[in-house]
């Protein structure tokens, strides 16, 4: 089974207009979407089909909930690149815990027909409190660094942080999932990297012990994620970091950029 648990740390670091850094422990599920029917089979508190303390819900992700999620991913990649992924689609994400789910980012790794090489990555990004979502298809102009890291450059498409404006590019660096998994997203403005977010994770096999361990250690993972976002935003506001208005709100009050 390719599905697994990844545990580690998420870190954010800002260089301007002021310095601000934080890091905390997380776990995320890495799910081969073709394995959903069996990955939690026989697990009392975990499910992909019924109500449970920890649950994968199709409705928590993009696309028509009536359509299989892997098909939505394949169609999106084909629309953007002209090529339809032929291999496995494996998702790094948060599940719904105690009925609540929020994912700042979910990553869909699209493998080739051999299921060994990542051909594309879809990054599904959500914001709060606006409840918006957008997807970045990371496939074109792809580079492989010496370490095997995939790197991409994209324009920012959606307002995420009230402390970062829209005139930003994202510089992505991702490793293919293995025993370790690494993701780095640099925010670039005027050719200067001023903010980065990283995920540094290590794989654990899915079994009864590992599932019980993460649920006991992080029982309210998604609530903790949401609380941390607002707590760090409050700290930035207290420090005097300038607040950037949501673009749609700017339009509604007649502000142009």
Could you give the CA distance from residue 132 to residue 185 in angstroms, rounded to a whole number?
19
In a domain, 257, yes or no: no
Q: Concatenated DSSP letters for 170-191?
A: EEEEEPPSSSEEEEEEEEEETT
With respect to residue 93, please indicate whether it lies within any of the assigned structural domains.
yes
Residue 257 has pLDDT above 50, yes or no: no
Q: Are strands 54-55 and 46-47 parallel, antiparallel or unpaired?
A: parallel
For residue 59, being part of any structural domain is answered with yes
Worst-scoring range by mean pLDDT, 19-28, 208-217, 244-253? 244-253
Query: Encoding tokens for residue 15?
Result: 């260089």
What is the pTM assigned to this prediction?
0.93
Residue 125 counted as domain residue: yes
Asked if residue 102 belongs to a domain, the reply is yes
Number of folded domains in the chain? 1
For residue 79, pLDDT over 60 is answered with yes
Does 250 map to a domain? Answer: no
Spatial separation of the C-alpha atoms in residues 54 and 138, rounded to whole Å: 29
pLDDT > 90: percent of the chain: 82
9 assigned to some structural domain: yes
Does residue 160 fall inside a structural domain? no
Question: Which residue segment(s) compose the domain that 220 sits in?
Answer: 4-147+197-241
DSSP three-state, residue 93:
strand
């Amino acid at each position: 089974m390719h599905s697994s648990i990844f545990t580690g740390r998420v870190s954010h670091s800002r260089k301007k207009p002021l310095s601000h850094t934080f890091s905390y422990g997380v776990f995320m599920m890495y799910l081969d979407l073709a394995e959903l029917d069996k990955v939690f089979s026989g697990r009392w508190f975990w499910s992909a089909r019924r109500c449970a303390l920890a649950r994968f819900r199709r409705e928590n992700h993009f696309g028509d909930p009536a359509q299989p999620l892997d098909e939505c991913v394949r169609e999106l990649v084909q629309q953007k690149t002209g090529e339809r992924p032929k291999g496995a689609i494996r998702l790094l994400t948060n599940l719904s815990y105690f009925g609540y789910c929020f994912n700042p980012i979910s990553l869909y790794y699209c493998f080739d027909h051999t299921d060994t090489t990542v051909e594309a990555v879809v990054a599904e990004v959500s914001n709060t409190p606006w409840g918006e979502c957008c997807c970045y298809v990371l496939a074109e102009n792809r580079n492989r660094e010496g370490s095997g890291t995939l790197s991409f450059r994209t324009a920012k498409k959606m307002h995420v942080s009230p402390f970062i404006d829209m005139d930003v590019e994202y510089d992505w660096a991702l490793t293919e999932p293995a025993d370790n998994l690494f993701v780095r997203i640099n925010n670039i403005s005027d050719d200067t990297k001023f903010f980065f977010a990283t995920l540094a994770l290590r794989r654990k096999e899915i079994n009864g012990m590992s599932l019980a361990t993460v649920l006991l250690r992080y029982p309210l993972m998604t609530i903790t994620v949401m609380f941390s976002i607002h707590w760090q935003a409050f700290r930035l506001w207290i420090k005097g970091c300038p607040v950037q208005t949501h673009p749609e709100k700017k339009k509604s009050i007649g502000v142009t950029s």
